[in-house]
Structure 1
């Protein structure tokens, strides 16, 4: 164990000889001993102090004896009129109250800091999912836990995961699949993937679409940071074609605008369909249902704040899959 020494000089300029070397590792003084010491000086009696402190007189005497032994000086003189402080006891008394007060203030500050930490939770969600959470779930949480402060940000799925792994967010809601080696996860809900098609596109009027109808279409897709884009491309590949992509963007509003101008078809989870802003766009299901799994995730093997665990348990209990 490393030993730290304090060199005590006879004056501040350190121009005179060292009086002695003080080994910090030898200090065993406890706050409890100082508390006992202060109470004894106020009561001028071991028996009275023991009653005020709710300890036995024997325990009190032992604590002070250990303190005197450690300091190697007597702290009290026993007189007929009671206890009196020695010159060493007077020095300790001047310091002891400050030490205890500073300790109490430090503990209080740490507790307040921990309380504030416990009340703050950051969650990142994949674009569009915030609408699902804010409409159905988060208002209920807010009513039950008004003291917990939530910060919510939305990003593409893979960006959300990077933010969580970098410890910039406590929780996340993302489209699966989820890497179980990196994240603790729970399935929140399932959702269908829709196509958004301009009404002037002839396939928007077909009642029973087939894969062949999709092969010769143009597409405007989210960037690969969105899992729905990868899911769609895998779907196309499994059906024997590669989609013709005119534009890619991480702005959902831009993709909708491109569909509005009939520049191609885009894709969107079902929960985003009510947010369509253009009347000439219609949502259409895929010929074969494309289902999305939406997960609540957080970093594995970590200890989380009370607020974070409260939100995690709340969202898990309100999962649409339970």
Structure 2
């Protein structure tokens, strides 16, 4: 067994398929299949339950994956660790962020950081909060920006900003000219929400339940501009963050919600108990310092 065998195995697990893993690694599928078989023979363990339609790890496979994943990550981090020892201020940072956040606030801090560390590059990946957490857990992202609170057994975090959520309706809707509405007034409305991958969906649904009703959901979408278009078409209503509402057209109106009001807090999160490279460490320190100075 060598590190390359572990790399193949870890990629098969992450992709859920030997075919997809071979495409990702640019390796012939028979080579990967043979490697997995050799690993099982060497360990004298069955790593995958092949009775299922899709690849599923056995209990032994799950334990082996956890250990392999740690070893592979350490192997990949070795060049960065050496750079850290030598004080080389270069590297790459993968940040997961919500598509329904005030991205200008993040970009401003990122620009200031870039001025200090011009040799560091970035990859910004938009996704729902639940996917961001999963991606951090399997080391596909270094840090994420998502709704707080998070499970502190899995993640460390600090607050980024808090934002009011407001009702958004078509300009001709009966509630369009109201200054405020109670949440219970929306009981008979059709809601257009983000899909279940977004914590905003949970926040809105839970708030409605606490107000005394289960929201009637007419559609679930992953893009806020699609929600806007459906509101303009009078298909339903939406509840969106204030910073997103500021970018909407004049064909919609926003109304404050009370009884109860709804807010959400976004935070910066990263994986617990993981070696932190220079880039991630500096970025988190820099961002927290910028936020504390506001």
- The TM tier, using the shorter chain, reads 0.5 to 0.7
The alignment partner of 1:169 has SS state of: coil
| Equivalent residue in structure 2 for 1:179, among 144, 148, 151 | 151
Report the equivalent of 1:52.
Answer: none
Query: Given the alignment of the two structures, is residue 154 of structure 1 paired with residue 126 of structure 2, yes or no?
Result: yes
8 Å contact from structure 2 (residues 99, 127) kept in 1: yes
**In 1: Cα distance, 2:81 partner to 2:109 partner:** 29
Change (3 A) 1:169 1:111: closer
What are the ranges of 5 or more consecutive residues in structure 1 without an aligned counterpart? 1-108
Q: Aligned partners of 1:122, 1:253: CA distance in 2, in Å?
A: 25
RMSD: 2.3
Displacement of 1:133 = 3.6
Structure (1 or 2) with the larger CA radius of gyration: 1
Distance 2:292 2:236 in 1: 33
What is the CA–CA distance in structure 2 between the aligned matches of 1:312 and 1:257, rounded to whole Å? Answer: 36
Deviation of residue 210 (structure 1)? 2.2
Aligned to 2:250: 279
The CA distance in 2 between the partners of 1:239 and 1:183, in whole Å, is 31
Cα 1:140/1:250, change in 2 over 3 Å? same
| CA 1:117–1:146: 2 relative to 1, 3 Å | closer
Partners of 1:208 and 1:301 in 2: CA distance: 45
Is structure 2 residue 188 aligned with structure 1 residue 225? Answer: no
Alignment of 1:231-242 (within 5 A): 231-242=203-214
User: Alignment partner of 2:140: what SS?
Assistant: coil
Answering whether residue 271 of structure 2 is matched by residue 299 of structure 1, we say yes
How far residue 211 of structure 1 moved from its aligned partner, in angstroms, is 3.1
Task: Quote the offset at 1:188 in angstroms.
Answer: 1.4
| Residues 132 and 146 in structure 2, CA contact (< 8 A), matched pair in contact too | yes
**Which protein has greater RCO, CA pairs closer than 8 Å, 6+ apart?**
2
Q: Distance in 1 between matches of 2:292 and 2:239?
A: 23
**Runs of 4+ residues over 4 Å off in structure 1:** 109-113, 115-118
Distance 1:280 1:126 in 2: 25
Which whole-Å CA distance do the structure 1 matches of 2:79 and 2:277 have between them? 14
Tell me the residue number matched to 1:195: 167
For 1:51-70, what aligned pairs fall within 5 Å after superposition?
none
CA contact (8 A) 1:190 1:321 kept: no
Query: Pairwise mapping of residues 89-100 of structure 1 onto structure 2 (< 5 A)?
Result: none
- The aligned length equals 213
The SS at the match of 1:272 is helix
The answer (yes or no) to whether the contact 2:102–2:244 under 8 Å persists in 1 is no
Q: Structure 2 vs 1, CA of residues 225 and 321 (structure 1 numbering), >3 Å: closer, same or farther?
A: farther
Paired with 1:282 and 1:122, the residues of 2 have a C-alpha distance of: 36
Alpha-carbon deviation of 1:321? 9.1
The aligned runs of 1:98-177 (5 Å cut-off) are 114=83, 118-129=90-101, 131-177=103-149
* Equivalent in the alignment of 1:316: 288
Secondary structure at the counterpart of residue 176 of structure 2: helix
Once the two structures are TM-superposed, the CA of residue 134 in structure 1 deviates from its matched residue by 4.1
* Cα distance in 2 between the residues matched to 1:234 and 1:112: 44
Q: Supply the distance in 2 between the matched residues of 1:141 and 1:120 (Cα, whole angstroms).
A: 13
- Alpha-carbon contact 1:122-1:150 (below 8 Å) kept: yes
